[in-house]
Structure 1
Amino acid sequence: MCKNVVRIFVIILSALNLGIAQIPNQYGLTIISDLQKLKETIREDPNKALVPIKDYVPNIALDIKYATAQNVFYTQLYKKPAALVRLPVAKALGAVQKELNAQGFSLKIYDAYRPYSVTCQMFEILPDTLYMGLPWQGSKHNRGIALDLTLINLKTKKELKMPTPFDALVYAAHPEFMKLPQEVIKNRELLKSAMKKHGFKVDPMEWWHFNYVSNTTFELLDIPFERL
């Protein structure tokens, strides 16, 4: 009996040392919160690298709302502004930017990778099951494959008119809502079309939220920006 217990204990320790075993959280989700574990997944698949968008997307504009208190939560959720995504997402975004630049426009990023703990904090402040990321599911932002963004004029740097401001939790934010001025619909459809062409899918509730479509399983992450 004792020998069996020792054998099981050794197996568990070995798995932990190899980075194989992880303890699910209260919702049964397996979340990477250790930088070394993230590096292990990247060694196995370089596409899982979490990279700065600016390194792959020329002249991208950043307006990271959650690094300030000027957001729907009236709370600074990030200690510093950062815009990170998985490597294939950054490359695809670079292709979108190239196409838009040729038309006189540019992307502006509101949010990208988001630590899982921030998703939980958001839900605690605003427990809405329609628009908020759900702690018991995790968000694609937590996986590094989701973006919140808009369009700006390349010369003036001003945002194009869109259906609503960012994070407006209203029906008009739905990407198929049509009771809008033609100029606004045109701008929204330009953004949707460019993103879709390069592998992104718009969220059904938010015109500004796009998810990268991939067959790769990207793990949920809860690593603060300061450690990346």
Structure 2
Amino acid sequence: MRNFYSMLVFFVFLVSCGDKPKADKNAEQNEDVATKQMDTVVKEKEIPKKIFKTFEKLADTTFVRLADFSDGFGYELRYATENNFLKEKVYDCAECYTRVKTAKALLKVNEDFKKSGVRIKFFDCYRPNSVQYKMWKIVPNPQYVANPKKGSIHNKGGAVDITLESLDGEELDMGTDFDFFGKRAYHDNFDLPKEILANRKLLKETMEKHGFWSTRTEWWHYNLDGAHRYPIANFKWDCN
């Protein structure tokens, strides 16, 4: 009887070992499917069929190109270049899209900034979920890149990475470059020169006044209040 149980245990061990490669293969296949067929993608009605100059008749969830509504912003969209922490270009071309509700808030806050002689400069805006998968493949670390299966608010059209610049295009000193992952970029790090603290305060307080909230460890990142409720999107803009 003891030999019988020994043989049975050995048999179960062999079967379980044999199943593992199959399970791993299935997991890889599932991940490939998730990459190609996003669980949540932007609906057709959310994609504008033409260029709009006014928000009239557009739903808050519609994606719009910010430059079509104002020429008063600055842009340096880093992920369309190799000048980013990934050291790779992950956008085919540089564009700044957001949902209508986000765009409306950004226009209002930019008018407020102009009273202080500055304007918003964008490093990143809406980010397609397929790009999130590209970023995750390069740096699969949730400390730096949101897991694409869960998505980030960038994927929902409600987050922006920004700084401030003068109306002549000169960046204000914020103490670090965009995507600097260290304590010097934290909002609660007050061991910095007064000029840097004043610049960050102006950015943070003005953004919060218009319904955006900040991330403690990234002085450049702002989410529109309530944007986390939007679905993850994979709308991709055209490169002309």
Measured at CA, do residues 213 and 38 of structure 1 come closer, stay the same or move farther in structure 2, by a change above 3 Å? same
Please tell me whether the aligned partners of residues 122 and 132 of structure 1 are also in contact (alpha carbons under 8 angstroms). yes
**What is the distance in 1 between the residues matched to 2:128 and 2:142?**
19
- Structure 2: gaps spanning 5 or more residues: 1-32, 49-57
Query: 2:124 maps to what in 1?
Result: 111
Query: 2:177 maps to what in 1?
Result: 165
Query: 1:30 maps to what in 2?
Result: 39
Query: 1:92 maps to what in 2?
Result: 105
- What is the Cα deviation at residue 165 of structure 1? 0.2
- What is the Cα deviation at residue 89 of structure 1? 0.7
CA RMSD of aligned residues (A): 2.5
Measured at CA, do residues 38 and 98 of structure 1 come closer, stay the same or move farther in structure 2, by a change above 3 Å? closer
CA offset digits 1:74-131 (Å, max 9, x no partner): 1111111100001011111111111111110011001100011111211221122222
Query: 1:19 maps to what in 2?
Result: none
TM-score normalized with structure 1 length? 0.79
**What is the distance in 2 between the residues matched to 1:149 and 1:83?**
11
Query: 2:145 maps to what in 1?
Result: 132
Please tell me whether the aligned partners of residues 63 and 108 of structure 1 are also in contact (alpha carbons under 8 angstroms). yes
- What is the Cα deviation at residue 227 of structure 1? 8.1
TM-score normalized with structure 2 length? 0.76
Query: 2:203 maps to what in 1?
Result: 191
Residues paired across the two proteins, number: 199
Measured at CA, do residues 68 and 39 of structure 1 come closer, stay the same or move farther in structure 2, by a change above 3 Å? closer
CA offset digits 1:57-87 (Å, max 9, x no partner): 4410111111111111111111111000010
**What is the distance in 1 between the residues matched to 2:198 and 2:111?**
19
- Structure 1: gaps spanning 5 or more residues: 1-23
- What is the Cα deviation at residue 216 of structure 1? 7.8
Please tell me whether the aligned partners of residues 93 and 239 of structure 2 are also in contact (alpha carbons under 8 angstroms). no
Measured at CA, do residues 57 and 30 of structure 1 come closer, stay the same or move farther in structure 2, by a change above 3 Å? same
CA radius of gyration, larger in: 2
Which of 136, 140, 143 is residue 123 of structure 1 equivalent to?
136
Which of 58, 77, 83 is residue 64 of structure 1 equivalent to?
77
- What is the Cα deviation at residue 30 of structure 1? 2.8
Aligned AA (1:192): K
**What is the distance in 2 between the residues matched to 1:82 and 1:224?**
10
**What is the distance in 2 between the residues matched to 1:215 and 1:117?**
19
Calculate percent identity across the aligned residue pairs: 31
Query: 1:149 maps to what in 2?
Result: 162
- What is the Cα deviation at residue 48 of structure 1? 0.6
